[in-house]
Structure 1
Amino acid sequence: MSNDLRQRLRALLAGPLPGEAAHRDAWPLELPARRLEDPEPLRAAAVLLAIVESEGGFRVPLIERPTSMPHHAGQIGLPGGRLCDGESPRACALRESQEEIGLEPDGVEILGALTPVPIPVSGFRVEVFVGWVDRPPRWRIDAREVQRILEADLDALARDGINARLERRMVDGTVREVPAYRTNGVLVWGATALMLSEMLQIWRRLRSD
């Protein structure tokens, strides 16, 4: 069954993606649905959304950033980072995942990619790669960049959807309610929530077929 699921997911990722229609579910309330384009060029970055197959189902490893980090302290995200010179986005996502959580590249089958997410406030345009891991890996974190790993149940996320709100200060100084996913005792919001929102829309379609 898992091989069939994997191949059908590959096919869905190769077809038209939900894109911003899915991102809107996780967009801050009262803000325009369309993202504002940043006048400055955005730097390239990449993350890996890994689907880990286990006896208990399918899980996505999320990371909690250390509170000591100068940027994104304590936030929940996906393993990844900026591209090195001459590096492809796919290679970057795999390299960063190996460095940050010990996920070996040869244990990851890249099935495709989601819609890139521009983050003008951070100055990055993030490529989101979806990888399949057919057995639970032995995690090994880089404590300088990762506080802990949170294995989120993909089916539970798809079932519960956006189920929380929190107040955040926007770059314009206003305070707005931000939609979030509640999982493993934490709230996932912002760019990571946008990425999850698109993945979950695809996953629901996959599981309903």
Structure 2
Amino acid sequence: MNFEKFILQLESALKAPLPGKQAQIKMSPVPIDMRRFEIDLSKNHRKSGVLILFYPESESAFFPLIKRPEYAGFHSGQVAFPGGKMEISDANIIETALREAEEEVGIDRSQVQVMGLLSELFIPTSNFLVTPVIGFLEKRPDLVPEEKEVSRIIQAELSQLLRPEIRKQKILDLGQNLKLDTPYFEIDGEVVWGATAMILSELIHLLHSAGR
């Protein structure tokens, strides 16, 4: 399938009701932290926007993931979508996702065509309510990692994401007597788990509904 046809199908799928928890929970670590799905929006949480950015390459669709550097924090060394916390100056969460992606991987946000949003997902450990924003570029961008926030950029091919063999499972030892039975995607040699995997799970569900 060519890139243009894929974009049209995805735009159509985004107009239907989103699967949300039904799809997200399939890639949730066990024991499942139900706070992810029961967030009280009146509570003092922080908002974050991430960008799922599709672009064409050799008749295929790709999207970038980033690996965080090692640091003293909740998401040290993890693979994620470009994105970050909402600032007061951001008009909305879409602007947050575009601004952060521009800062982290060097895209030109003015060239991104926004298609829609996936379901919000709460991350209890960092108190962020994450909104995934879906957009596309008409040609492959020159991706440049921001050295302090990105240790590497992974250019993930959509067709590989849809292969069932990349979905795996293992016990993650997070220290402090915390072990999680964790489903994950193995993408370009990296373990993609947690909120990123849960967002990808909803994306996969959406793409299957679109006939991918």
Same fold (TM over 0.5): yes
> Which residue of 146, 150, 154 maps to 2:150?
146
Distance 1:68 1:175, change over 3 A: closer
* Letter of the 1:42 counterpart: H
1:171 deviates by 9.8
Does the 8 Å CA contact 1:60/1:154 hold for their aligned counterparts? yes
Matching residue of 2:82: 79
Matching residue of 1:131: 135
Distance 1:164 1:70, change over 3 A: same
1:34 deviates by 7.5
Q: Distance in 2 between matches of 1:123 and 1:161?
A: 32
Distance 1:158 1:61, change over 3 A: same
Matching residue of 1:16: 17
Distance 1:118 1:144, change over 3 A: same
Matching residue of 1:25: 26
Distance 1:65 1:35, change over 3 A: closer
Matching residue of 1:62: 65
Matched, 1:43 2:67: no
Matched, 1:155 2:159: yes
Distance 1:200 1:174, change over 3 A: same
* Letter of the 1:128 counterpart: P
Matched, 1:52 2:55: yes
Matched, 1:121 2:122: no
Q: Distance in 1 between matches of 2:125 and 2:73?
A: 15
Question: Deviation per CA, 1:169-202, whole angstroms, max 9, x where unpaired?
Answer: 5799541211000110011000000100000111
Question: Deviation per CA, 1:100-155, whole angstroms, max 9, x where unpaired?
Answer: 00011122111101001111211010110011122111111110000010011111
Distance 1:130 1:146, change over 3 A: same
1:166 deviates by 2.9
Three-state SS of the structure 2 residue aligned to 1:14 is coil
Q: State the TM-score, normalizing by the size of structure 2.
A: 0.89
Q: Distance in 2 between matches of 1:129 and 1:180?
A: 21
Q: Distance in 2 between matches of 1:170 and 1:118?
A: 19
State, as a whole percentage, how many aligned pairs show the same letter.
Answer: 30
Matching residue of 2:112: 108
> Which residue of 181, 189, 195 maps to 2:193?
189
Which structure 1 segments of 5+ residues have no match? none
Three-state SS of the structure 1 residue aligned to 2:11 is helix
Paired residues in the alignment total 208
Q: Distance in 2 between matches of 1:49 and 1:146?
A: 16
